[in-house]
Structures are given as C-alpha cells and as structure tokens.
Amino acid sequence: MAYWLFKSEPETWSWQDQVKRGKRGQAWDGVRNFQARKNMQSMKVGDRGFFYHSGATKEIVGIVEVVKEAHPDPTDKSGVWQCVDIAAVKALPRPVPLEAIKANRKLAGMVLARNPRLSVQPVSDAEWRIVLEMAGA
C-alpha cells in the first residue's frame, strides 16, 4: 500500500463534504498539475491518503482511501487530465497543522514541508506513521 496527501480548500471541498459522500467516494477532479496527475496515475485501489485543508487552517484532518484508480477527469473537456476517486475512512483524533509538520525535524523531507502547493503528493511510510502519532491515532 502506498500513502498520499490530498489538498483541498475547505470552502470548496471540506472534510465534511468528503464524509457525506460515503463509501462510494468522490472523484478528486479539477487538478491541473502534471506532477499531481502523475501521482494519481500511480495510485491503486486501497492506497490511503491524508485529507489536508489548505487555505486558512492548513492542517491534516482525516484519512481517505482510493476507491477508483485513475480515469478521465469529468471536468476536463480536453481529455488531458485524470483523477482518482477517494472515500473518507476516518477523521484524525486531532488535526495536524502545517506548522507542526514543518517544526518536526523527522518530517523535513516530507513533500508537504518542502512544497506545500502541490495538490496531490506522496507520503512515505515513515512520514505516515509520524503524522498519525502526532494526531494521536
């Protein structure tokens, strides 16, 4: 299993919106970045990811699971972009703010700490465990 991080502005698509979609999940559409697309093309059903609120709060708030592998993005008429479908698994006991991630020397190499603008990014096994520990999970 691989681990990922999905970023969303809560005003546009929040953790609560994701939870409401239930087990059927939601297409992670509208992503227009080649590296993020490549990351989604690498995903397999069952991979897990962190759900990250960008914008004002900047914190990891939940865990999602890939329920459908890369497919054409329904919001893209050009046919260039792809997306995966993700479903909420559970909320974290306590959110993990970006500041806490950046302050943790063990997470200095995490993509979120180095390139917080990338909307879909990989998370290593070690980073996954550290963030879960920080969240009290």
Q: For position 8, which CATH number holds?
A: 3.10.590.10
Residue 24: pLDDT band by 50, 70, 90 thresholds?
A: very high
Query: Which pLDDT band, with edges at 50, 70 and 90, does 135 fall under?
Result: very high
Q: Domain total for the chain?
A: 1
Q: Is the pLDDT of residue 95 over 90?
A: yes
Give the pLDDT score at 55: 87
Stated pTM of the model: 0.96
Asked if residues 106 and 133 have their Cβ atoms less than 8 Å apart, the reply is no
**Rounded mean pLDDT, 89-114:** 97
Rounded to whole angstroms, what are the CA distances from 36 to 65, 100, 121?
17, 24, 6
Model confidence at 99, pLDDT cuts 50, 70, 90, reads very high
Distance (Å) of CA 44 to CA 39, 57, 105, 122, 127: 11, 29, 30, 13, 19
In sequence order, what are the residues at sequence separation of 6 or more whose Cβ sits closer than 8 angstroms to the Cβ of residue 134? 96, 100, 101, 104
